[in-house]
Every structure is written in structure tokens, then in C-alpha cells.
Amino acid sequence: MRMHIELDDDLVAQVDRLAGARGRSAFVRSAVQVAVRQAARWSQLDAAAASIPDHGHEWDADPAAWVHSQRHADPRRAG
């Protein structure tokens, strides 16, 4: 699908320096794909924010001891 976008001349010049005049479309396509993935990740992070309650966890009493026990719970772990 085609779409029309407007960019400032200096931004187009920067794209041309990076991608070459014949590589504009591929460069912009790639940049938009990166931006869409990043926006999706931020959306997922926002949705997950505060999804774990502030209390009632195994680690509340002694976080360091909990981390230590988690690290040493797997006998396959080295060190």
C-alpha cells in the first residue's frame, strides 16, 4: 500500500545521506517498523504496570534471602 507523507527538507537530506536517494522507501519502511514495535512494547509495559501488588510476596520479609534461595534452588546451576 502506498501512503503520502511530508518531511522537512533537512530530514530528507539526512535520510539520503544514510540510505541513498534510491533507498528512501526501504529506510522509511524500516524506521516505521521499528517505531511500531517500540510503541507496541511500551503499550505492553503500560498494561503490565502495577499488575503485581505491592505486598503479599514470598520476598517481602527478606528480599536478599529470597534471591539467594532462588539462585541456589536449581542443582544444575554452577556457582
pLDDT of residue 37: 98
Query: Mind listing the pLDDT tens digit for each residue in 29-48?
Result: 999 999 999 999 999 999 99
Q: Is residue 2 part of a domain?
A: no
Q: Is the pTM of this model over 0.85?
A: no
Confidence of residue 21 (pLDDT cuts 50, 70, 90): confident
Cell numbers linked to 7 = 518531511
Q: Is residue 77 part of a domain?
A: no
Number of domains in the chain: 1
Tell me the C-alpha distance between 3 and 29, whole Å. Answer: 11
Whether 4 is covered by a domain: the verdict is no
Q: Indicate whether 22 belongs to any domain.
A: yes
Is residue 20 in some structural domain?
A: yes
| Contacts (Cβ under 8 Å, ≥6 apart) of 7 | 15
> How large a percentage of the chain has pLDDT more than 70?
99
Find the domain containing 45 and state its range.
9-72
31 domain-assigned: yes
Residue 33 lies in a domain: yes
